[in-house]
Each structure stands twice: as structure tokens, then as C-alpha cells.
């Protein structure tokens, strides 16, 4: 099967973070250099602005720091960002949209809890193999090839 990768756009340098900045990763750029990929930002795809008030996941709800419910935008954005036929993804760690395994806990205190962001969860449930940029970075440093599934 041909690989098609999804990547969090902020990892490629797109200024789509809540604060108008990005999470550029040279390691991710290098890793993708011989791959076919599509960059997405689920929060912007859901209609949220740049910049925007930061959001965190609390249970199945997404609230911004002012208590505004952004659940609908997050779920819509995730649906719009899912790429048909995608096989793999590199998604930004800890984000309420893109985080895999550990995300911020909804208290806006920098505390992490177990769980997936809304988009990461959708990708995983759709059978897409998801990595964080931290996993890509670790693999690159160890010079061990990423296991293909
Ligand atoms: Fe990056 Fe994902 Fe947040 Fe968009 S939603 S800024 S792609 S972590």
C-alpha cells in the first residue's frame, strides 16, 4: 500500500498556533523529505482564528481559557482534516487537537494527563498510524528506521 502521511502544519513552520507562532521541526521536515504528505491544522479547519484563546480538553469537551465551549469547532475541524487514504501521521505532541498519548489536562496549568487530542483520536480510530514529532525526533537521533505498518 502506498504511504500517505498527514502532518500537523505547525511542525512545518506554518504560523497556525493559538499564539500565531509555529512548532517548526527540522527533523520532521527531513523525515518527510522522501514521503508524500499533506499538512493540516484541525483548529483552523474548524473555523478558529489565528491567534486564538488557547483551548484544552476536559473529558469530551473542549473549553478555551475563558470558559468558552469550542467542542463543535474542534470536532468539525478534525473531520475536515482527515485525509482519505492517509496511512500515517506526525502530529504535534500534547495539543488538544493533535496530541497523542498525553495532553494537557484542562486546568491550563501545564499539567499533562493521559489521552489523545480530538484529531489524533479520530486518526487512530480510522486506522492511521500516528507518531508525535517527539517520537520522530527520537528515532532520528537513534538512526533507527521507523517501523512501517
Ligand atoms: Fe499545530 Fe495541530 Fe495546533 Fe494546528 S491544531 S496549531 S496543527 S498542534
Pocket of ligand 1 (CB under 6 A): 8-10, 16-17, 41-43, 92, 95, 97-98
pTM strictly above 0.85:
yes
For ligand 1, mutation pick of 40, 43, 99 (most atoms within 8 Å of CB): 43
- Contact between residue 77 and residue 71 where contact means Cβ atoms under 8 Å apart: no
User: pLDDT tens, 42-66?
Assistant: 999 999 999 999 999 999 999 999 9
Ligand 1 centroid distance, CA of 18 (Å): 8
Mean pLDDT of the chain: 95
Which atom belonging to ligand 1 lies closest to the Cα atom of 98? Answer: 2
User: pLDDT tens, 79-120?
Assistant: 999 999 999 999 999 999 999 999 999 999 999 999 999 999
Amino acid at each position: 500500500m502506498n504511504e500517505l502521511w498527514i502532518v500537523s502544519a505547525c511542525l512545518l513552520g506554518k504560523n497556525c498556533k493559538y499564539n500565531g507562532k509555529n512548532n517548526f521541526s527540522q527533523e520532521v521536515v527531513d523525515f518527510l523529505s522522501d514521503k508524500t504528505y499533506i499538512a493540516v491544522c484541525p483548529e483552523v479547519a474548524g473555523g478558529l482564528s489565528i491567534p486564538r484563546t488557547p483551548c484544552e480538553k476536559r473529558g469530551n469537551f473542549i473549553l478555551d481559557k475563558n470558559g468558552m465551549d469550542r467542542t463543535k469547532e474542534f470536532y468539525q475541524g478534525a473531520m475536515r482534516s482527515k485525509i482519505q487514504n492517509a496511512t500515517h501521521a506526525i502530529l504535534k505532541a500534547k495539543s488538544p487537537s493533535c496530541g497523542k498519548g498525553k495532553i494537557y489536562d484542562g486546568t491550563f496549568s501545564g499539567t499533562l494527563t493521559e489521552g489523545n487530542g480530538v484529531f489524533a483520536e479520530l486518526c487512530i480510530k480510522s486506522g492511521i498510524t500516528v507518531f508525535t514529532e517527539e517520537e520522530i525526533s527520537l528515532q532520528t537521533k537513534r538512526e533507527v528506521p521507523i517501523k512501517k505498518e
